[in-house]
Amino acid sequence: MWTRESGGLVLTFHLAGINNQNFLMRDDQTGSYWQQITGEAVSGPLRGRRLTLVASDELSFGLWAAEEPGGAVLKSVPKYASDYEKKDWEVNMKKERIVLSFADPARGLEPRTLLLGIQAFGASRAFPYDAVIQEKLVLDRVGTEPVLLVVGPDGESVRVFRDRIPGTDGHPAFYRTLDDKQAHPKDAAWLKQATAGPLLMDEATGSEWNFQGCAISGKALGLCLEPIEAIKDYWFDWRNYNPKTTVYKRRQ
Amino acid sequence: MERTSRRAWGHPWFLLPLVLVSFAASIYPIYVIRPFRHQGPRELAAALEIIQIRPPIELACAILALGGLLWYWRVQPMVSRRRLAAAGAFLVCTFAVVTKVNIFELMFHPDTHPQFVSIQQAKVDADDMVMTVKIGGVAHAYPIRTMGYHHIINDVVGHEPIVATY
C-alpha cells in the first residue's frame, strides 16, 4: 500500500500493464508508469520517484473486525462480484505458470511458494508463510536486527515486530502464552477477547503482550514494539526484486 | 476531358511508412507488456518509452495521412487507388485512436468509485483475508478476493490519499 502523492500531485492509478507478473500502474495526472511492488516510477515525467509505503496488515476478516469494530470494508462491485476470486483461489494460483526462470535449487522453494518478505535494516529476508503459520512465533533476524513474527489467535494473521522493548537494552526472548489448541477463531466473542488479550510474554520484563505488539501487563505495561512491514508475495516475484534475499529455514 | 487527361499516379506508397510507424507505435507496447510473457528489461524500457513519446507521433502521422489522402484523391483519377489510399489513411487514424486506449485498463475492470460498508453489512467470511490500513483513527479493509480481481483501489483514509494494490 502506497501514498499516492508525488511531485506535489495527488495521483490516481490504473492497472496499465504487466512486468513479469508484477503489474505496472499508470497515473492519470502525468501518464507515468509505476512498478507495483517497488512503488517506483519506471517511465514518464515522474520517472525515478518513489511512493511512500503506508503501514498495512494482511489479517483475517474476523480478527480485523474484532480489532476495529467501527472499520469500513470495501464493497463488492455487483457487476463483477460473481467473477471475484473463489475461496480456494490461492490453491489454484499455485498451478499458474510463471514467466521468470532462474536456477536456484539450493533454496528448495517452488516459484509460487507464498512468503512474507521483509526489507528492513539494510537487508531482505523471506519467511515461507506456511512455516510461520505452523511455528506460531518465529524469533529471527533481518540483517543484524532481531525480529519476531507472530501469528494471531486466529491462526492466519501474521504481524512482525522489532525485538526491542522501547527504553531497554538487548533483545529479549519471547514466548507464546496463548494455548492454540484451545483456540476458537470462528467464535467472534472468543476472537475479540483473544485479540486484545495476552499472546506473548518476554523473559526480560515478564510482561504480557497482545497481537498489536503492546504490553498489557508487567513492567512494560503501555509500551508497544515497533511494527515492521512485511509483504506477502510469491517466491519468484520476491526473488526477482530482492536478488540478495536470504530465506528463513524452519527449525527442525 | 480534363479528367481523362490527368496522368495516372502510382500506388499511394507515401502512406506506407505512416501506416508502419503508427502500427508499430500502437502494437509494440501491447505485444511486450502483456500477461504470461517474460518481459526483458530492454524491450520493456523501449515499450514504455514508446508509450511516452507516441501521442504526438501518432497525431502527426494521422494529419499527414489525411492531408496526403486529400491531395492524392484530387490528383488520382483511378478509383481503386483512391480507395487504397483511403484505407491506408483510415488505418493510420485507427492506430492513433487505439493508442488513446489502454486495453489492460479495460481488461482488469477497475473499481473506479470504491464504496465502503460497515463490518455488519460486509459479505466477507471471518476466515477470509483482508488488507488493512489505519490512518488518523480511520480503519479500512480490502478483501483479498476482491483485490485479486480489481488489483488497485484509489482511496482516501483519514484525509490521506493512498492506493491499495494487490
With a cut of 70, say whether residue B71 has pLDDT above it: yes
Q: Which of A105-109, A158-162, B32-36 has the lowest mean pLDDT?
A: A105-109
Identify whether A96 is part of a domain. Answer: no
Q: How far is CA A31 from CA A21, A34, A93, in A?
A: 21, 10, 31
- The mean pLDDT value of chain B amounts to 91
The closest CB to that of A71, out of B51, B139, B151, belongs to: B139
A79 contacts A108 by C-beta, under 8 angstroms = no
CB of A225 closer than 8 Å to CB of A161: yes
Say if residue B6's pLDDT is above 50.
Answer: yes
* Confidence check: pLDDT of B2 > 50: no
Confidence of residue A79 (pLDDT cuts 50, 70, 90): confident
A126 and A232, same domain (yes or no): yes
Dist. CA B53–CA B42, nearest whole Å: 16
Instruction: Note if the pTM is more than 0.95.
Output: no
| pLDDT category of residue A252 using cuts at 50, 70 and 90 | low
Q: How many domains does chain A have?
A: 2
Residue A152: pLDDT band (50, 70, 90) is very high
Q: B81 CA to chain A: closest CA distance, Å?
A: 39
Q: ipTM of this predicted complex?
A: 0.90
Domain co-membership, A22 together with A146: no
Q: What is the pLDDT of residue B101?
A: 83
A66 lies in some domain: no
Instruction: Work out the mean pLDDT of chain A and round it to a whole number.
Output: 90
Predicted local distance difference test score (pLDDT) of residue B1:
43
Estimate to the nearest angstrom the gap between the alpha carbon of A230 and the chain centroid.
Answer: 3
Q: Do A61 and B126 touch (CB under 8 A)?
A: yes
Is A231 found in the same domain as A115? yes
Write out residues 72-131 of B within 8 Å (CB-CB) of A: 102, 104-105, 108-111, 114-119, 121-131
Instruction: Name the residue of chain B whose CA is nearest to A63's CA.
Output: B126
Lowest mean pLDDT among A83-87, A115-119, A175-179, B139-143: A83-87
CB proximity list for B55: less than 8 A, separation 6 or greater? B99
Contacts of B34 in chain A (CB under 8 A): 17-18
Q: Does residue A58 belong to any structural domain of this protein?
A: no
Its domain, for residue A117, covers 111-247
- The C-alpha cell that represents A30 in the structure block: 502525468
Using the Cβ of A20 and the Cβ atoms of chain B, whether some distance falls under 8 Å is answered with yes
| Contact (CB<8Å) B131/A56 | yes
Phi-psi region of A143 (alpha: psi -120 to 50; beta: other; left: phi over 0): left
For A110-151, write each residue's pLDDT tens digit: 888 899 999 999 999 999 999 999 999 999 999 999 999 999
Percent of chain A with pLDDT strictly greater than 90: 65
Q: Are strands A208-209 and A215-217 parallel, antiparallel or unpaired?
A: antiparallel
Residues forming a β-bridge with B123? none
Is residue A119 domain-shared with residue A33, that is, in the same domain?
no
- Asked if B165 and A2 come within 8 Å (Cβ–Cβ), the reply is yes
Residues 42-71 of B with CB under 8 A from A: 44-45, 48-49, 51-52
Check the CA dihedral A30-A32-A36-A38 and report its sign.
Answer: negative
Tell me: do A122 and A228 sit in the same domain.
yes
| pLDDT score of A181 more than 60 | yes
Among A181, A176, A169, CA closest to A139: A176
Tell me which DSSP letter residue B91 carries: H
B134 CB near a chain A CB, below 8 Å? yes
Q: What is the DSSP secondary-structure string of B64-75?
A: HHHHHHHHHHHH
Closest-CA distance of chain A to residue B65, Å: 26
Pair (A117, A238) in one structural domain: yes
CB-side neighbour CA atoms (13 Å) of A187: 7
Q: What is the CATH number of the domain that holds A120?
A: 2.102.10
Determine the distance in angstroms separating the CA of A204 from the nearest CA of chain B, rounded to an integer.
Answer: 30
Task: Name the residue of chain A whose CA is nearest to B159's CA.
Answer: A3
